[in-house]
Chains A and B, each alone.
Chain A
Amino acid sequence: MTPQEYNQCVSQYADNVYRFILKNLGREDDARDVVQSSFEKLWINREQVDAARSKSYLFTIAYHQMIDHIRKSKRIQLRDDFREDAQVQHIPANNTRKLLEEALSRLGETQRSLIMLKDYEGYSYEEIGRITGLNESQVKVYLHRARLQLRDYIVKMENVL
């Protein structure tokens, strides 16, 4: 990957990675740090990265950096403070989207990441497996389970409202 291709990768995928990380972490500064460190790694390893696979490589780095960040945050027990700041994130316009965001926030990091990688980025099960380190069957099972949990929550809340 040349520096030009790297900069092109920044232009094309920086926002996508930032969204993926921000909706998982809930804090803009943390998401920005993870994105910057991910692109830093991509720049360091640009000689070994094919430009055609730069997006998958970038999301793989970002995903693992995010997991490390979440584990570190849980270890120092600042999760509650982060959750207060998490309200800064985008609020859905209609009720269904709001319910979906709430349901999504109730998922675990892995299931939420699988949903976002599938819906936002359109990755296949196989590609999601490569990014997250899971096999294709696990991705399928986890993703279907997460989808059903989201459905159940939305249906349940709609019935309550």
Chain B
Amino acid sequence: MNLTRHNYEEYFLLYVDGELAGDDRLAVEAFLQEHPDLGEQMDDLRQTVLSPADDVFTIDKTLLYRPQEEEAGARIISINRRRLSAAAAAVAIALLATSALWIVRRQNHSGPATAGAQNATAIATPPDDGVASGAATHHTTAAGSPSTDTAQAAPAIAAGSRPTAPTVPGARTIGPIPGDRTTAAAPGARATAPAPSNVTHPEKAPWQNAPHDALVTNNPSGTNPVPQTPVGIPQDMHTDGTIAISGSTPRHTPLAINDDSTQALAINNRPTVTRTSSPTYHTLEDGNQEASNDRILFVPADQVVNGEVKGFFRRAGRLIKRSASLNNDVVRPESDR
């Protein structure tokens, strides 16, 4: 420590601040004894030091004290219990909402859809007297000769927005577009039906066992082994706007649509035909109430379910937005102030 008359002020300040160690403090005190004229400088600096004993202030500490360990722990436990109960309530609400949604969806599935399927089955299944269901059956029972072939009853296809043409197993159908979502297929039944000898046998369906098991109106492959007599279609079938089946040979176009505006066709891919070889053609617009019910009940079922699900989420989103807007309305005036 090199204390001189040029740098003494800094050391005096360090001395006043108490930043000097023992030897340095002694060095400053020795310097002051050697230079008594600088003692006044030291006294002036000492006057700038605040005395803690002179300024005593007290504050009410009751506001600052905190509860001890046990009380603090009890408070924490109560907060945790509150949060736990809130979480349990949220889970319970979520479970209730999910179960309610599941019940609604199940009712929708098992209600109209089942009824539609039943109706479709009823339409596709011919009555026991051997007459195919629907008025079209009478039109398409052209040959009328009984056949002993085993015919596959095709599943009835009822189109919701686009009626489809009746068809027979393995035959080309007109109306339902592959992949059309409005087309619903109902499982048909297998039955033994007498096949007329003059019935055209187009391509052979996989489930067909007999070479000429059903009335076929189209044979694009041209591999029918036995040329058949064309199926006679009454003229009123054309006026009804349904499918007129006139093709009997592989080179003949089997299906013709007379009225494009009324292409209501019901497709029976696997109708159960007993004691008759008539194909299970029928139309949805022939006044068949069951077929109309099919269109109404069966097809929109999925749409109804989807609409209800979407509506549920839409309402939930609307509630969330509404609550958020309420919260913003509460906060906004405070912030505006």
**Closest chain B CB from A71 CB (angstroms):** 21
Decide: A92 near B54, CB < 8 A? Known: A151-B44, A151-B47. Answer: yes
User: Which residues of A14-48 have CB atoms within 8 Å of chain B's CB atoms?
Assistant: 14-15, 18-19, 22-23, 32, 35-36, 39, 43
Q: Is B19 a contact of A125 with CB atoms below 8 Å?
A: yes
Provide the bound-state CA to CA distance between A92 and B53, in Å. Answer: 12
Interface flags for B25-47 (1: CB within 8 Å of A; 0: not) read 00000000000000000001101
Query: CB-CB < 8 A to A4: which residues of B?
Result: 68-69
Judged by DSSP, the binding face of A is: helix
How many pairs of residues, A versus B, come closer than 8 Å at their CB atoms?
A: 87
**Closest A-chain residue to B17, C-beta based?**
A118
Q: Is A18 a contact of B66 with CB atoms below 8 Å?
A: no
Q: How many residues of A contact B (CB 8 A)?
A: 43
Q: How many residues of B contact A (CB 8 A)?
A: 30
Q: Is A3 a contact of B47 with CB atoms below 8 Å?
A: no
Decide: A90 near B55, CB < 8 A? Known: A4-B68, A119-B49, A143-B17. Answer: yes
Q: Is A119 a contact of B64 with CB atoms below 8 Å?
A: no
Q: Is A147 a contact of B61 with CB atoms below 8 Å?
A: no
Q: Is A15 a contact of B57 with CB atoms below 8 Å?
A: yes
Provide the bound-state CA to CA distance between A39 and B56, in Å. Answer: 20
Contact of B50 among A14, A15, A100 (CB under 8 A): A100
Provide the bound-state CA to CA distance between A39 and B63, in Å. Answer: 10
Judged by DSSP, the binding face of B is: loop
Query: CB-CB < 8 A to A3: which residues of B?
Result: 66-69, 72
Query: CB-CB < 8 A to A143: which residues of B?
Result: 13, 17
Interface flags for A128-146 (1: CB within 8 Å of B; 0: not) read 0000000000001001100
Provide the bound-state CA to CA distance between A151 and B60, in Å. Answer: 35
Provide the bound-state CA to CA distance between A14 and B65, in Å. Answer: 10
Which interface residue of B45, B52, B57 has the most chain A CB atoms within 10 A? B57
Is residue A73 contacting chain B, with contact meaning CB distance below 8 A? no
Q: Is B58 a contact of A15 with CB atoms below 8 Å?
A: yes
Provide the bound-state CA to CA distance between A15 and B59, in Å. Answer: 6
**Closest B-chain residue to A38, C-beta based?**
B64
Q: Is A11 a contact of B61 with CB atoms below 8 Å?
A: yes
**Closest chain B CB from A64 CB (angstroms):** 18
Contact of A10 among B51, B61, B67, B68 (CB under 8 A): B61
Q: Is A147 a contact of B45 with CB atoms below 8 Å?
A: yes
Contact of A120 among B18, B55, B67 (CB under 8 A): B55
Contact of B47 among A2, A96, A120 (CB under 8 A): A96
Listed A/B pairs (24) with beta-carbon separation below 8 Å = A3-B67, A3-B72, A6-B66, A10-B61, A10-B64, A11-B61, A14-B59, A14-B61, A15-B58, A18-B58, A36-B64, A90-B55, A90-B57, A92-B54, A93-B54, A97-B54, A103-B48, A120-B50, A124-B19, A144-B10, A151-B45, A151-B47, A154-B44, A154-B48
Binding site for A on B (CB under 8 A): 10, 13, 16-19, 44-45, 47-52, 54-61, 63-69, 72
Given contacts A32-B59, A115-B48, A120-B50, 14 further A-B contacts (CB under 8 A): A3-B68, A3-B69, A6-B66, A14-B64, A19-B55, A36-B63, A100-B47, A119-B49, A119-B50, A119-B51, A147-B13, A151-B45, A154-B47, A154-B48
